[in-house]
Amino acid sequence: MKILTVIGARPQFIKAAVLSRAFKEHRQDVEEIIVHTGQHYDANMSNVFFDELDIPNPAHNLGVGGGSHGENTGRMLEKLEALFLIEEPDWVLVYGDTDSTLAAALAASKLHVPVAHVEAGLRSFNRRMPEEINRVLTDHMATLLFAPTETARVNLLREGIAAEKIHVLGDVMYDAALFYKARASEPAWFAGSGITQDQFVLCTVHRAENTNDPARMEGILNGLSASNLPVVLPLHPRTRGKLSQAGLAIPGNVTVVDPVGYLEMVWLEAHCKLIATDSGGVQKEAYFHRKPCVTLRDETEWIELVECRVNTLVGTNANAIEASILNASLPADFDEWLYGDGNSGMKIALAIL
């Protein structure tokens, strides 16, 4: 069996690593071909990155990135279609909700190649988000839909997707959290930072709706400045430049560091007191590491986390951020587990095979 896995951003490589190991462990006759669209260029995605994940480098890098959503998706579609015609895969495997996900699903469906979608059924119900459009369209083109939760399954059924296509098998990111926690490494700069383990806020901000809006970024920074704990903020140079252009200063209690590697990020998540983020993936990782999460967005696709009171939606209102950080805690009855048993990758691999 030949499986062509299409991914374009670092979180997708982490998810794909889980299934790649599962394929290898279960069947030696599976040929998996990893394709990187190039959607998110990241200098950290070097050989070291793939060594950390214990997966091979991509067999193909399409070099598509840096354009608008429409431009990127169109160029990916053209290149992926040509590649599918050459490789003739039995399955195309996609993850999440990026432009790469949509382009791969569309190219495959036009060529009548079955699509397996991991992280199916997530909905923020905000159609202004490009990710929402990508995930909805991909779900309606997929042959197999792997929903991480029962809520995701219900979302798919409400949209008229046949029940037999949907499999609720847990979340591969939980598999990854368990696997990589043992390999996690303390960042070299942490020991000299003066910050105490388990006594800091870990913050990540990357969504364009925040980083491209000075007013929203100002609200986030003002909320962080009132924290009673030091804040560690890994920040992309592009975002740092935007803050400078907008005349926004980094608060004194915020330690800005360059983007960290995946294993360093796992270590920071495991050793912070709480997490403030606008990332969908980091919201779940906070849960996996049993840390309260303050989400710097107006909505989330992980509504289960809000409902079980481990995640607080605050948007970018400074007062709400301040209050949520001060009051963040896990509920006393935090014992319900939402995302499977840590063996989702193998279950998904077996379903495809």
Active-site positions? Answer: 206
Largest CA distance in the chain: 57
Q: Work out the burial of residue 320: count CB atoms within 10 Å of its CB; fewer than 13 is exposed, 13-18 middle, 19 or more buried.
A: middle
Which amino acid is present at 202? L
DSSP string, 39-82: SS--TT-SHHHHHHHT-PPPSEE----SS-HHHHHHHHHHHHHH
CA 137, CA 169: separation in Å to the nearest integer?
Answer: 21
Query: Are the CB atoms for 201 and 276 separated by under 8 Å?
Result: yes
Q: Extract the tokens encoding 288.
A: 């996996």
Owner of token pair 């063996």: 343
Q: Is 236 helix (H, G, I), strand (E, B) or coil?
A: coil
Element (H, E) at 256: strand 254-257
Local structure of residue 165 (DSSP, 8 states): G
Element (H, E) at 305: helix 303-307
CA 155, CA 151: separation in Å to the nearest integer?
Answer: 6
CA 295, CA 115: separation in Å to the nearest integer?
Answer: 31
Q: Is 129 helix (H, G, I), strand (E, B) or coil?
A: coil
Owner of token pair 């995701």: 152
CA 266, CA 316: separation in Å to the nearest integer?
Answer: 25
Q: Which residues pair with 275 in a beta bridge?
A: 202, 293
Q: Which residues pair with 312 in a beta bridge?
A: 294
> What is the pairing mode between strands 144-147 and 115-118?
parallel
